[in-house]
Structure 1
Amino acid sequence: MAEITASLVKELRERTGAGMMECKKALTEAGGDIDAAAEALRKSGLAKADKKAGRVAAEGRVAIAQNDGKAALVEINSETDFVANDANFKTFVDSVAAAALASGAADIEALKSARTPAGNSVEEARAAIVQTLGENIQVRRLVRIETSSHIGAYVHTNGKIGVLVELAGGNDELARGLAMHVAAMNPPYNKAADVPADFIAKEKEIELAKMSEKDRAKPAEILEKIISGKMNKIVNEVTLYGQSYVLDGEKTVESALKAAGADVIRFQRMVVGEGIEKVQEDYLAEVAKAMQV
């Protein structure tokens, strides 16, 4: 029988998401065989799915399904990045995106009852994947676009960032390029007209405070030109249209759009776990303490 060390318990905890004492017990019963212990924990996972629902799930993946002027972007959360990279989890995420697209579900509650390509509901599939992987897994967000215009869709290679762009005019290649730009540059706003007045007022206040007394003493018309120049730069930095286009550094996004006779109607950028407060845990210290019980 292999020695049941704190490191072994920690590894099983991270692999399955089960509690430390459950991991210690499973390893003891499996004679230290971590694969057998993981399998035993997974077999009992469905009965404990509700208990897992209270645990923070801030990792996970996004996925996009797209067809015939329609696209759906979904975020599915897991507790650990280990599970987020599991092949079964990736398949589940893709199946939820496909269900979102096919069903026309407008929100998460509707999506839960939508049918996956396998024929079960999204909620049934979620419960099954909880049993398989032993973590709290949640279907968190859904964004849809249905349009006669072009749709740019992009999911970053790590599966953590997804973007949809609705583009009037132009072509599919430009739409996808803009989706990649939004993923990389994260503009808060589309055009200058979309920037809130209170944001502009606050930035003006900050820029004035940063200026020297000598500059602030300049004639009003000169001071206004200086501040206007600074504000134009700030607005360009926070708007899609004002930013330098990542796929062609010689152009701004606005000039690239004008050259193609195109206009961005809207865009949506989704990042895994944004807005969720992550809990930082020292698993090894926690496991070592539990081993002494």
Structure 2
Amino acid sequence: MAEITASLVKELREKTGAGMMDCKKALTETSGDLEGAVDWLRKKGLAAAAKKAGRVAAEGLVAVATSDTVGAVVEVNSETDFVARNERFQAFASEVARQALTGNGDLDALQQAQFPDAGRTIAEEITHMVATIGENMNLRRIARIEVGSGAVASYVHNALAPNLGKIGVLVGLESTGDRDRLLELGKQIAMHIAAARPEALNIEDVDSSALDRERSVLADQARASGKPEEIIAKMVEGRLRKYYEEVVLLEQVYVIDGENKVRKVVENFAKEIGAPIKVAGFVRYVLGEGIEKEQSDFAAEVAAQANVGR
């Protein structure tokens, strides 16, 4: 029997795209025969996963999980919305979110964590699901919020199942106040975030390049009025306040009452429960955002298939 070295396993992985543990098992089953191991993986359907790896996966699920002062959100992608309704896929996304509660929010580390009762890592479990379900899938991103004291609340918009949907939000509240009341406020703020799409928590957190670009546009607009530069500067600052109200969470008008800024809502709630509250952070994940989807011409595809073999 040939020695099953790390380089041999690596070579098999490069040939098939299968997971490390599957490659080790294939080489063991075939006494170290590389080509035999390729065939073994193909028969198990595992090598087929590599062929699907290049296909765009922009559907799937956003999953959230919380535990006391910690919350996590992950995005797991598939090629079609149909797979997002698959119970196995949903169970996988939920478990990954739960595992993301521990650790430091590092995506690579999470992928190498063991998937329960499978004898495989999370990354290898994805490979198995690709082979079984027949679509490309991937664990795209992860975020984690932790507070010293208080609560981390979550909200999923249009949930397909508990804590699973297409928009997932986490909100961390630092406070010594009653945890149930904090969760009540946190969920309402999370619902606001889902609807209002803030980009930053505080004015100080606004991306400097985005702010410079906005200031430049506003200045050019103001100059078109023909007013003096000192007046233009005041006009720009006034319009920047409006910009902050659009992109900064604490400066936004609370969608639930339509009157107060979120900052004021938090202050009023703190008085109500008798303890200061600080919004420590938030995360808003929208399924597939930033992924360039393939535009297909269905009629052209049908025509191409009809011409095959002519």
TM-score (ref. length: structure 2): 0.72
Partner of 2:158: 157
Contact 1:92 1:129 in 2 (8 A): no
Partner of 2:297: 282
Q: Distance in 1 between matches of 2:83 and 2:134?
A: 9
Partner of 1:205: 216
Q: Counterpart of 2:63 in structure 1: which amino acid?
A: A
Query: Alpha-carbon deviation of 1:178?
Result: 1.3
Identity of matched residues, %: 44
Q: Distance in 1 between matches of 2:141 and 2:223?
A: 47
Query: Alpha-carbon deviation of 1:180?
Result: 1.4
Partner of 1:191: 202
Q: Distance in 1 between matches of 2:228 and 2:104?
A: 58
Query: Alpha-carbon deviation of 1:90?
Result: 1.6
Partner of 2:191: 180
Unaligned ranges ≥5, structure 1 = 1-42
Contact 2:153 2:187 in 1 (8 A): yes
Q: Distance in 2 between matches of 1:116 and 1:190?
A: 34
Cα RMSD for the two superposed structures: 2.4
Q: Structure 1 65/116 Cα, relative in aligned 2: closer, same or farther at 3 Å?
A: farther
Q: Structure 1 145/219 Cα, relative in aligned 2: closer, same or farther at 3 Å?
A: closer
Q: Distance in 2 between matches of 1:128 and 1:197?
A: 43
1:8-157 map, 5 Å: 45-101=45-101, 103-104=102-103, 106-120=105-119, 121-147=121-147, 148-157=149-158
Secondary structure of the structure 2 residue equivalent to 1:187: coil
| Greater CA drift, 248-257 or 144-153 | 144-153
Partner of 1:273: 288
Q: Distance in 2 between matches of 1:112 and 1:212?
A: 52
Q: Structure 1 288/182 Cα, relative in aligned 2: closer, same or farther at 3 Å?
A: same
Q: Structure 1 44/206 Cα, relative in aligned 2: closer, same or farther at 3 Å?
A: same
Contact 2:110 2:122 in 1 (8 A): yes
TM-score (ref. length: structure 1): 0.76
Contact 2:61 2:75 in 1 (8 A): yes
Partner of 1:243: 252
Query: Alpha-carbon deviation of 1:212?
Result: 6.5
Unaligned ranges ≥5, structure 2 = 1-42, 160-164, 271-276
User: Matched residue pairs, number?
Assistant: 248
